[in-house]
């Protein structure tokens, strides 16, 4: 059999029941029949990581542990998997994790417990697949080793580690000697001394991209509960259109600007090895979703309009021109000292405007007040707490400005707090107060994204079907 690898990743809702696992089996069978070796990278069952996190802080909670085991017993029963094939080993590992945490609640033992969600889902799922396929289980930690980073905090070292995506010598050969379909965990890696570490938020997407690179896979398919990436949030805009194809840079800018379908770290990992990524819908397996790959030579322009809520905007006014030199360095040192990541910056002779994501930086009202107090010794600070960032994303976004004339009428009644354009000409960001921002979002989408041809239309512009049309179509059955 040819060693042509394809990696398929499935999230928490995609591994939660029998119908989902039957679809996974069908997809794996089709890929093998086409002459590929298949690696299935699976998340924990939806909600399980949160249950494990609660256990980590109260490891003596018998009720929480019973509920966790119940979820997996019910899944195993639905899949027709005998408990003896997964429960004794899993129970022993869970008990060991809880014992370790009761003696040391540090992040390394926290990581080991959280990793049990992926262990349980993949062990049970692999047993199910063996009913109809030649399938085996492999430990993702065999392929993903943490790359140490200088000045990394202990929590990040264990709970948000970094791994290399470069091809792993001998890995493909070793795994090719096993079953043609292999199942493994997302989210997990190992330290140099063999202990469990986690890849942080979006870790299963990231590990799937990393593993695809390590195996030199032909492509990565991320199977989720949406058809792909859209020109806007389809829950807000029914005319939002499916993006048939975008490049890594555009996808990364989209992910960083509020699109949550795939994590930025996963895109970076895929780009590092040139791995093609397809976003597909587990409920519509016959529908092609979004392909992310190398830079395309076709038409540029705005591809999507996104929004990020929970932004804080700070206007920092330098009141003493004698200290103009070094002013920015001093201001940014305050943010660095507090461990706050800055999203956007705009500067003028006397004023610097800074935007930060309050949620991502864990900034509540008290933390924002403390930040303002620290900055107050260097400048006059005006804080806008609850803001929204509307982002226009696409290659050559500067060319879109002339088409926004009608949209700019929005600002006759709503203050524009900040404008920021990325240096790579991929994103233009407009910061406004929360409230009527959906009007700005819809107006910008209407001005910049072409409506779908009622006939189904030409997709040469890179845009596919609209969300409203997709909803009207019957689900596809072909894998």
Q: Can you list the residues of the chain whose pLDDT is less than 50?
A: 1-2, 457-458, 475, 477-479
User: Which whole-number Å values give the CA distances from 370 to 84, 334, 363, 383, in the listed order?
Assistant: 55, 11, 10, 12
- pLDDT, residue 478, reads 45
- pLDDT, residue 296, reads 66
Q: Is the dihedral of CA 293, 295, 299, 305 positive or negative?
A: positive
User: Which whole-number Å values give the CA distances from 256 to 253, 353, 434, in the listed order?
Assistant: 5, 19, 19
Q: What stretches of 237-347 show up as alpha helix (H) in DSSP?
A: 248-256, 264-273, 327-337
What is the DSSP annotation of 36-101? Answer: -EEEEEEPPPTTHHHHHHHHHH-TT-HHHHHHHHHHHHHHHHHTT--GGGTHHHHHHHHHHHHHHH
d(CA 67, CA 447) in angstroms, rounded, equals 50
Q: Mapping DSSP to helix (H, G, I), strand (E, B) and coil, where does residue 350 land?
A: coil
Share of the chain residues as helix, strand and coil, in percent rounded to the nearest 5? 40, 25, 35
- Sorted by where each starts, the structural domains of the chain and their CATH numbers stand as 5-225 (3.40.1160.10), 304-448 (3.30.2130.10)
pLDDT tens per residue, range 98-119 = 999 989 989 999 999 999 999 9
Q: What stretches of 339-454 show up as alpha helix (H) in DSSP?
A: 365-375, 437-448
d(CA 127, CA 79) in angstroms, rounded, equals 9
pLDDT tens per residue, range 126-165 = 999 999 999 999 999 999 999 987 766 778 889 989 999 9
Order of strands across the sheet with 416-421?
344-347, 351-357, 304-317, 380-393, 427-433, 416-421
Token code pair at residue 400: 């879109």
């Amino acid at each position: 059999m040819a060693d042509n690898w394809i990696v398929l990743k499935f999230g928490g809702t995609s591994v939660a029941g029998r119908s989902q696992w039957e679809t996974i089996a069908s997809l794996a069978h089709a890929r093998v029949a086409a002459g590929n070796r298949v690696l299935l990278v699976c998340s924990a069952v939806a909600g399980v990581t949160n249950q494990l996190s609660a256990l980590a802080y109260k490891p003596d909670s018998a009720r929480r542990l019973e509920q966790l085991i119940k979820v997996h017993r019910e899944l195993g029963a639905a899949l027709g998997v005998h408990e003896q094939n997964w429960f004794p080993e899993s129970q022993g590992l869970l008990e060991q994790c809880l014992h370790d945490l009761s003696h040391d609640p540090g992040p390394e033992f926290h990581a080991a417990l959280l990793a049990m969600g992926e262990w349980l889902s993949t062990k049970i799922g692999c047993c199910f697949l063996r009913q109809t396929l030649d399938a085996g289980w492999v430990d993702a930690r065999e392929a993903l080793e943490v790359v140490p980073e200088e000045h990394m905090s202990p929590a990040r070292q264990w709970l948000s580690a970094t791994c290399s995506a470069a091809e792993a010598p001998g890995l493909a050969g070793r795994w090719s000697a096993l079953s043609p379909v292999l199942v493994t965990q997302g989210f997990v890696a190992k330290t140099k001394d063999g202990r469990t570490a986690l890849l942080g938020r979006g870790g299963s997407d990231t590990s799937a991209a990393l593993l695809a690179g390590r195996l030199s896979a032909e492509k990565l398919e991320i199977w989720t509960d949406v058809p792909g990436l859209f020109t806007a949030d389809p829950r807000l805009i029914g005319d939002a259109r499916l993006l048939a194809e975008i490049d890594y840079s555009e996808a990364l800018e989209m992910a960083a600007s509020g699109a949550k379908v795939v994590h930025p770290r996963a895109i970076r990992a895929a780009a590092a090895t040139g791995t093609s990524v397809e976003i597909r819908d587990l409920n519509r397996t016959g529908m092609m979703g979004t392909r992310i790959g190398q830079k395309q030579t076709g038409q540029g322009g705005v591809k999507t309009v996104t929004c990020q809520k929970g932004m804080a905007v700070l206007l920092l006014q330098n009141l003493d021109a004698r200290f103009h030199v070094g002013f920015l360095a001093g201001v940014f040192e305050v943010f660095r000292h507090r461990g706050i990541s800055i999203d956007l910056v705009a500067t003028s002779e006397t004023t610097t405007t800074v935007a930060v994501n309050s949620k991502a930086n864990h900034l509540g009202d008290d933390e924002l007040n403390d930040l303002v107090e620290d900055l107050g010794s260097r400048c006059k600070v005006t804080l806008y707490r609850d803001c929204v960032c509307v982002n226009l994303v696409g290659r050559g976004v500067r060319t879109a400005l002339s088409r926004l004339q009608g949209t700019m009428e929005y600002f006759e009644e709503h203050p524009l707090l900040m404008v920021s354009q990325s240096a790579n000409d991929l994103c233009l960001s407009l910061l406004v107060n929360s409230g009527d921002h959906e009007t700005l979002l819809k107006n910008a989408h209407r001005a910049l994204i072409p409506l779908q041809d009622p006939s189904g239309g030409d997709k040469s512009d890179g845009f596919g079907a609209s969300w409203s049309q997709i909803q009207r179509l019957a689900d596809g059955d072909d894998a």
